[in-house]
Amino acid sequence: TSAGAPHRYPMISMPEAIDIVLSRAAPLEEESLPFPDAVGRVLASEVTAPRPHPPFPASIMDGYAVRSADVPGTLRVVGAARAGAPLGPSADGSETHTGAGRAVYITTGAPVPPGFDAVVPVERVSFPKGEGSDAVAVADAFVPGANVRSVGSDIQRGEVLLHAGDRVGPHELGIAALAGVSEARTRRAPMVAVLSTGDELADPYARMYKPNGHTDAPATIDPAAAASSSDRLDVSAGSIFDANRHMLLACAREAGARVMDLGIVRDDPDALAGAVAKAMDAGADVVVASGGVSEGDKDHLKDVLLGSFGLIAGVVHFGRVMMKPGKPLTFAEIHRVPRTDSENRSEDRDESTRLDEKKTKQKPVLAFGLPGNPVSAAVTFALVVAPAVRRMLGWVDPRPRRLQAVLAQDIALDKERPEYHRATLDWEANDSSANLPLARSTGRQISSRLTSMRGAEALLELPRGPGFVAKGTVVSALVIRDIGTQGGLQMPRVRPKVVRPGNARDRVLAAADAGVAKKALRDDEDDAKKFAPRPKAIAVVTHPFVPAKSLSDLARESDVPDSDRAVTDEGNDDAAAILEATRRFLQRAGVSTDGDENNAWRVFEARAENGTSRRLALAARAAAETASIVLIAPSGPSAVSSQAAVVAGTDLGFPGLAPRMRAPLEKKYDQSAKYDDDEERSEAEDAAALAAIA
């Protein structure tokens, strides 16, 4: 290009390049496969269950099938039901096993015989003396359906098991097998043909197998040939081994494609056009060539794709991308030019490459020209070619997954182009990382150094410009392989908050919002005494805008006895009266409010003045730092009676409020959770607000 003239191929951004490619790549036609052969494919239609599972009422454990109406009691065993075996005749010679006082021994997974509706575990029966060897005693009652999986309890007939767009993996295959689904309707896997260009290239595996198009089948390996591969490299002539082709064939397989190995093509445009045409005749959906895409005198790929040398013709959608590495990345759509008579008469053409002309003209083949430097080829394949393959397979979102990571070291920027920096991802406990993985550079990032791809799990998206990105900075990262395949990513183990069965405290708080707090308190009183430890501190948060309730209403709603409706309007705006009333009710319940700290309840006040709901929330949050229960009360004369009724009505062990009054803010048992008042405000602003309240 002459100075000042526009370039033949304008530079575009990588996001633009991906959009162009995905707009041209479409899901391929559907085909049916045996489900085991569909692993790795994407479903083209939903999969429904043709039958229920289990198809019969099945026993969950070894035991005895009984009629629930007959237990507790002593039963006579009249047979045995075992998984995979028919039920034998009744031991007493009767036509049916079912009847009052009868039981059938049953194993896990076996059908529950008709007429029985429960299974008693074998460890829950005894064998009474003097009753005979066929008698069992059951001491407990069992409800209908106990220890029985009903028909369709796991999978119902007609249930949608898998959806169109789901990728079939081992577990999806297991689901289909369990339901008895034999075939999968999937998108056809694209055929990706790969070649390398360059007179300097030598194949390190040439003596192990001969590239003959398809290399999905295992090759026969000659150990002696493998050991002598370095002898074929003419260093004096500038030869190097061809890494790109073998790497890209593996990348294509990993993306889910079938592959075709076109071998090494010399730097000759006619030979290159012939190799591409051969791939198209053999049914390739995608052609990937590495090398020959720059602007040197032996870089012919763009002209070949345009049809300058016959056999094929096409449109080049872009020929340069603003990125590092991979600037010469090229993408085209190509068509096969009809064969000449001389081509058809060629005796050395493999019969397997003959393809119906109409098929080759139906749709264009996607052609990618990747740079010859191996890192550039690997990066551009991951960012552009792999998404195209996944789109053809039917993936809903074929783009690389983007996440955020924290830099483990300073990284210098490239002044001219945005960089896709190779990095590993691992984990270190670091509060400043906001629970994000740490990104570590794989070292020197020159495009010829393929070892920079070793273990790389992500490409860090770095902007162009002077300077560097500092250690600890959060950056975006595109995932290019399964995270953790190198064993580096280990998230810290988290101990979850456990809600025990019958935990009244959690259920009351949820029930308060539904307007059934009073009933929940009564129903859960016994459970609360068993599971809920009594808190040792109460914080009373007063606020002028919390609506007050009359003492009589609160007492009535809280089931407070008349004798405990003690405190009336004391005409005192000071919240100290609230604290005193709270102490009196605690003492009346037999709980000390002074003395030994382990036995005493501490009662204190936190004010939220100036009438904003945010200040109320912040005050409650501050109170929760030292209190197990936080009660919100209105300030003013009626606050005294309101607070007293609330404490008395909740019997001290429940941190709920009377119905129709807002629930308190509660500090969790494990002291691990805090009230989150407003995510839009920063922690610094919260701290300042708390300081102002204090």
Domain extents in the chain: 30-52+155-187, 58-149, 189-393, 402-479, 504-693
Q: Name 627's Cβ contacts closer than 8 Å, sequence gap at least 6.
A: 535, 537, 538, 539, 602, 604, 667
> How far apart (Å, rounded) are the C-alpha atoms in residues 375 and 111?
60
Question: In the predicted model, is pLDDT for residue 648 greater than 60?
Answer: no
Q: What is the pLDDT of residues 177-235, one digit of tens each?
A: 999 999 999 999 999 999 999 999 999 887 766 555 455 544 444 445 444 444 556 66
CATH classification number, 189-393, choose in 3.30.70.270, 3.40.50.2300, 3.40.50.300, 3.40.980.10: 3.40.980.10
- pLDDT at position 458 over 70: yes
Distance in angstroms (rounded) separating the CA atoms of residues 111 and 81: 7
DSSP secondary structure code for residue 22 in this structure: H
As a whole number, the mean pLDDT across the chain is: 74
pLDDT in tens, 250-301: 999 999 999 999 999 999 999 999 999 999 999 999 999 999 888 877 888 9
CB count, 10 Å around CB of 598? 6
Least confident of 18-32, 326-340, 632-646: 632-646
Residue type for position 220: T
pLDDT band at 6 (very low <50, low <70, confident <90, very high): confident
Mean pLDDT of 428-451: 80
The pLDDT value given to residue 296: 78
Across 364-379, average pLDDT:
97
The DSSP output letter for 97 is S
Count CB atoms within 10 A of the CB of residue 622. 22
Strands 191-197 and 286-290: parallel
Least confident of 284-293, 316-325, 344-353, 570-579: 344-353
The widest CA-to-CA distance across the chain, in whole angstroms, is: 113
Q: Say whether pLDDT at 378 is over 90.
A: yes
Q: Model pTM greater than 0.85?
A: no
Query: In the 8-state DSSP scheme, what is residue 383?
Result: I
Distance CA 89, CA 558 (A): 63
Instruction: CATH number for 402-479: choose from 3.40.640.10, 2.40.340.10, 2.130.10.10, 3.40.50.150.
Output: 2.40.340.10
- What CATH number was assigned to the domain covering residues 30-52+155-187? 3.90.105.10
Helix (H) or strand (E) holding 523: helix 517-523
pLDDT at 221: 47
Question: What is the third-level CATH fold of 58-149?
Answer: Molybdopterin biosynthesis moeA protein; domain 3 (2.170.190)
Residue 233, amino acid:
L
What whole-number distance in Å separates Cα of residue 44 and Cα of residue 46? 7
Place of tokens 């809600």: 499
Contacts of 424 (CB under 8 A, 6+ apart): 439, 440, 442, 455, 456, 457, 458, 486, 488
Q: What is the spatial distance between Cα 274 and Cα 263, in angstroms, rounded to a whole number? A: 12
The HSE-up count of residue 552 (CA atoms within 13 Å, CB side) is 0
pLDDT in tens, 473-500: 999 999 998 875 555 555 556 666 555 5
CB 604 within 8 A of CB 576: no
pLDDT exceeding 90 applies to what percent of the chain?
51
> What is the per-residue pLDDT for 468?
93
Q: Which residues contact 42 (CB under 8 A, 6 or more apart)?
A: 165, 166, 167, 168, 186, 187, 393, 394, 395
CA gap 521, 498 in Å, rounded: 20
pLDDT band at 2 (very low <50, low <70, confident <90, very high): low
DSSP state letter for 171: H
Higher per-residue pLDDT: 347 or 176? 176
| Residues linked to residue 213 through DSSP beta bridges, in sequence order | 261
pLDDT in tens, 526-565: 444 433 333 345 555 555 444 444 333 433 443 434 433 3
Instruction: Identify the band that residue 665 occupies on the pLDDT scale cut at 50, 70 and 90.
Output: very low
Q: Please state which of the ranges 94-98, 511-515, 657-661 shows the lowest mean pLDDT.
A: 657-661
